[in-house]
Chain A
Amino acid sequence: EDKVVQSPLSLVVHEGDTVTLNCSYEVTNFRSLLWYKQEKKAPTFLFMLTSSGIEKKSGRLSSILDKKELFSILNITATQTGDSAIYLCAVVQGAQKLVFGQGTRLTINP
């Protein structure tokens, strides 16, 4: 059965801390891995990772994929209260289907 597992499910840290969110997967016909951020409404796209070992970076957020060990991490440095959200990991399977993990609920306290 295809599955995407995120950990931790919930994380509470103080502003300024660095956090690492994990995503492991067992999916047939893997194409790519995507990270989304979901605040109060629709998920918004952060990164797409297709090749192993190549870091994607956007400001304080970065992500990397390991296709041998079947996992990805999302790092957020110098966290801010605006980073509080649910972070979703999804694997592209086959033509265009996404298989999502349960999400990590990140809370940043001032």
Chain B
Amino acid sequence: DAEITQSPRHKITETGRQVTLACHQTWNHNNMFWYRQDLGHGLRLIHYSYGVQDTNKGEVSDGYSVSRSNTEDLPLTLESAASSQTSVYFCASSRDPTYEQYFGPGTRLTVT
């Protein structure tokens, strides 16, 4: 069955370290998104991509980067992890022309 997966599911890292969260989807969706979810803020968009080699900044992109080298993957990198980046991270994908986004299971990241 087609799906969207994230890894790792849980991660603890130290301040200042570089961290990469993986997102992989097998639906062949052209659009992929990264969100973070914090209490009181709902889901906030970090970065998104409409296709291979396309990346765009979202509402809370500072300190994060993404790259899209193929259709299936959109890894999220925290260049130098900060305690403020402790959060639950969700990856999602969608296919034109529909707007419905399908979400991965999430990664809980703790920065100590």
Q: Do A and B come from one complex?
A: yes
- B contact residues around A100 at 8 Å (CB): 35, 42-44
* Interface-lining segment among B15-23, B64-72, B74-82, B98-106: B98-106
User: Which residues of chain B from 38 to 92 have a CB within 8 Å of any chain A CB?
Assistant: 40-45, 48, 50, 58, 90
* Chain B minimum-CB-distance residue to A45: B100
User: Which residues of chain B from 14 to 34 have a CB within 8 Å of any chain A CB?
Assistant: 31, 33
Give chain A's interface secondary structure class. Answer: strand
User: Is A98 within 8 A of B40, CB to CB?
Assistant: no
A102 part of interface (Cβ distance < 8 Å) = yes
How many interface residues does chain A have, given as a range? Answer: 20 to 34
User: Is A88 within 8 A of B106, CB to CB?
Assistant: no
A88, A92, A98, A102: the one within 8 Å of B45 (CB): A98
The distance from the CB of A58 to the nearest CB of chain B, in whole angstroms, is: 14
* Chain A minimum-CB-distance residue to B31: A96
- B contact residues around A48 at 8 Å (CB): 99-100
B7 part of interface (Cβ distance < 8 Å) = no
- A contact residues around B40 at 8 Å (CB): 102
A43 part of interface (Cβ distance < 8 Å) = yes
Residues of B with Cβ closer than 8 Å to A?
A: 31, 33, 35, 40-45, 48, 50, 58, 90, 94, 96, 99-106
